[in-house]
């Protein structure tokens, strides 16, 4: 009987994980739910350093909700990431972050004959629309 108990304890000790848990817990969670005007906010942070903050209200056209916020976290390779954004009727979703790709500049000037052709096509389209 003692051997069975000893073997059980030994098996439990061998099955115990050696590395710390990858469990992430919520450290802070503050929320204000939408009011009659559509105003809301949320702000929470997790034990791994992830932080999300957002607020908004229904001040857009026809009561549309306009919001702004930030998202911060650390990639598994240790690099920090931060994104700020605004979402409104005037500009749509407008993210801002150093991590977002930037389109390269156009490699050369557009030749004049191409610009002339574009203008000619626009005039033809306008004339066609007027005759309809």
Residue 131 reports pLDDT greater than 70:
yes
Per DSSP, the residues of the chain read -HHHHHHHHHHHHHHS-SSPP----EEEEEEE---TT--EEEEEEETTS-EEEEEEES-SGGG--EEEEEEEEE-TTS-EEEEEEEEETTTEEEEE-TTS--PPPPSSPPPHHHHHHHHHHHHHHHHHHHH-
pLDDT of residue 45: 94
Q: What is the per-residue pLDDT across 89-107, written as a single tens digit (0 to 9) for each? A: 888 999 999 988 988 887 8
**If you average pLDDT over every residue of the chain, what do you get?**
84
How many angstroms separate the CA atoms of 73 and 82, rounded?
Answer: 7
Span 22-27, mean pLDDT? 87
pLDDT of residue 12: 56
Q: Residue 100 has which token pair?
A: 């977002």
pLDDT of residue 15: 60
pLDDT grade for 130, boundaries at 50, 70 and 90: confident
Q: What is the per-residue pLDDT across 26-71, written as a single tens digit (0 to 9) for each? A: 999 999 887 777 789 999 999 988 999 999 988 888 878 889 999 9
pLDDT of residue 53: 94
Q: Are β-strands 51-57 and 26-32 bridged in parallel, bridged antiparallel, or unpaired?
A: unpaired
């Amino acid at each position: 009987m003692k051997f069975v108990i000893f073997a059980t304890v030994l098996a439990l000790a061998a099955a115990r994980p050696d590395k710390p848990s990858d469990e992430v817990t919520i450290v802070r969670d503050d929320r204000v739910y939408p009011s009659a005007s559509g105003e809301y906010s949320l702000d929470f942070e997790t034990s791994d350093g992830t932080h999300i903050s957002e607020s908004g209200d229904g001040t857009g056209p026809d009561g549309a909700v306009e919001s702004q916020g930030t998202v911060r976290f650390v990639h598994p390779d240790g690099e920090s990431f931060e994104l700020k954004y605004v979402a409104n009727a005037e500009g749509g979703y407008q993210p801002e972050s150093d991590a977002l790709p930037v389109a390269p500049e156009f490699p050369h000037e557009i030749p004049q004959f191409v610009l002339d052709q574009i203008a000619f096509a626009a005039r033809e389209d306008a004339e066609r629309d007027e005759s309809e």
